[in-house]
Amino acid sequence: MTAEIINGKDLAQELRNEMKEEVTELIQKGLTPHLTVVLVGDNPASRSYVRGKEKAASEVGIESSLIELPESTSEDELLSLIQQLNTDERIHGILVQLPLPKQIREQEVIEAISPAKDVDGFHPINIGRMMTGEDTFLPCTPYGILTMLQSKNIEIEGKHAVIIGRSNIVGKPVGQLLLNENATVTYCHSRTADLKAYTQKADILVAAIGRANAITSDYIKEGAVVIDVGINRLDNGKLTGDVDFAGAMKKASYVTPVPKGVGPMTIAMLLKNTIKAAKGLASIGK
- Binding residue per annotation — 211? no
pTM metric for this prediction: 0.95
* 10-37: pLDDT as tens digits: 999 999 999 999 999 999 999 999 999 9
- Binding residue per annotation — 48? no
- Binding residue per annotation — 158? no
pLDDT of residue 238: 92
* 248-273: pLDDT as tens digits: 999 999 999 999 999 999 999 999 99
Average pLDDT, the chain: 95
* 57-83: pLDDT as tens digits: 999 999 999 999 999 999 999 999 999
Structural domains of the chain ordered from first start:
30-114 (3.40.50.10860), 140-262 (3.40.50.720)
- Binding residue per annotation — 191? no
Q: Which amino acid is at 203?
A: D
pLDDT of residue 165: 97
- The set of catalytic residues is 53, 97, 120
Identify any residues that bridge with 228 across adjacent strands, giving them in sequence order: 207
* 137-196: pLDDT as tens digits: 999 999 999 999 999 999 999 999 999 999 999 999 999 999 999 999 999 999 999 999
pLDDT of residue 15: 98
Could you give the percent of the chain with pLDDT greater than 90? 95
First to last CA, the chain: 46
Cα dihedral 76, 168, 50, 92, rounded to 10, equals -70
Confidence of residue 45 (pLDDT cuts 50, 70, 90): confident
pLDDT of residue 281: 57
Confidence of residue 283 (pLDDT cuts 50, 70, 90): very low
The answer to whether the CB of 6 falls within 8 A of the CB of 151 is yes
Residues 6 or more apart whose Cβ sits within 8 Å of residue 15: 147, 268, 271, 272
The pLDDT of 77-103, averaged and rounded, is 97
